[in-house]
Amino acid sequence: MRYVVGYTANARGHDAVHIAVALARNHDVSLDLVLVIPEDSPFNAVYPPEAGYNDILTDQAQRWLDEGLALIPADVTARAHIRRGDSEARTLIEAAVEFDAAALVIGASNGGLLKRFTIGSVASSLLHSSPVPVALAPQGYQRTDPITRLSCGFGTRPGADELLDVAVESARDRGLPLRLVSLLALDGGNSPGLADAAWVHAADRLAAVGGSADTGGSADAAGSSDVTAAGSLQGEPEIVVAQGRTIEEAVDRLDWEDGEILLIGSSRLAQHRATFLGSTANRILRALPVPMIVVPRDYTRHSA
């Protein structure tokens, strides 16, 4: 399995390498660092007429990639590639398709609060069009140890069952504990009884894909209940229903491990087999202190 890492010679590129290494270390994954430079074109004002400029730019890009490769430990296989294109996002997608990559990995835009996300133009384009899952590292992400827990943002809208399939498969393949997370915002008019209903729904769907059929538990404002694992699922999946005045507050009320990552689905507005970051996911992203993976709609090919 291969991951394409959108590399840039700055803190954002380093964040992307760090989360890519963490994801690769408890899975059979090799990394492809891709650095996009402007397309060679007589219509591109970036290029002056002086001879040899393209060679200078390519040499500099290779030096930047060598610096990126130096961040990757010896136990992770990695390659480096220079790609030319007038759109960094589209060029990264083309590389992911070329390498049959299971995911695209990028860093958040610079300028946000530490360990929080601010989305730049490239990340925004990828999060609204990628045919493969997009893993996004928060600014300042330094961890390179293996991922320790997989959480899955779970709801009742169409596509939730497909996302749960991907989450269960990913947790099983990586040998990780799985947590299903439902977030309820009180400002949306939700009643207290919806917490229990959300827990029961998640437990029912988990049972359908190989978890426990026991749905007798309940959830409080930020409580959790365990579901006994069955079949090939590793560990004991946990269902957590968190409430807050807003989605952001509900996210803040959850306990997050340093080595955790959140899997989330695409909006119903997404095209078939493409990502689309919906309004709720965007709000989650603004408050989330751990990396996020956005899964395309109807995506079933690879585990994340």
Residue 304 banded pLDDT, cuts 50, 70, 90: low
Average pLDDT of the chain is 78
Residue 157 banded pLDDT, cuts 50, 70, 90: low
* Number of other CB atoms surrounding residue 228 within 10 Å: 11
Q: What is the arithmetic mean of pLDDT over 41-68? A: 74
Q: Which residues pair with 4 in a beta bridge?
A: 32, 104
Q: What is the pLDDT of residues 122-135, one digit of tens each?
A: 777 887 778 899 99
Q: What is the arithmetic mean of pLDDT over 148-161? A: 78
Across the beta sheet with 30-37, the strand order is 78-84, 30-37, 2-6, 103-107, 134-137, 292-295, 260-265, 149-153, 178-185, 238-244, 222-226
pTM: 0.81
Alpha-carbon gap, residue 188 to 245, rounded angstroms: 8
Does residue 251 or residue 228 have the better pLDDT?
A: 251
Phi, then psi, of 289 in degrees rounded to 5? -95, 0
Would you give the end-to-end CA distance of the chain in angstroms?
A: 10
Alpha-carbon gap, residue 232 to 224, rounded angstroms: 22
Q: Is 42 exposed, middle or buried (0-12, 13-18, 19+ CB in 10 A)?
A: exposed
Compute the Cα dihedral for 82, 86, 88, 94 and give only its sign: negative
Q: What is the pLDDT of residues 184-228, one digit of tens each?
A: 777 655 556 777 777 787 777 777 766 543 433 334 444 443 333
With left for phi above 0 and alpha for psi between -120 and 50, is residue 291 left, alpha or beta?
A: beta
Residue 9 banded pLDDT, cuts 50, 70, 90: very high
pLDDT above 50 (res 90)? yes
* Number of other CB atoms surrounding residue 167 within 10 Å: 29
Q: Where are the alpha helices (DSSP H) in the chain?
A: 11-25, 53-70, 88-98, 121-127, 160-174, 193-208, 247-253, 279-287
Does residue 111 or residue 94 have the better pLDDT?
A: 94
Query: Which residue type occupies 265?
Result: G
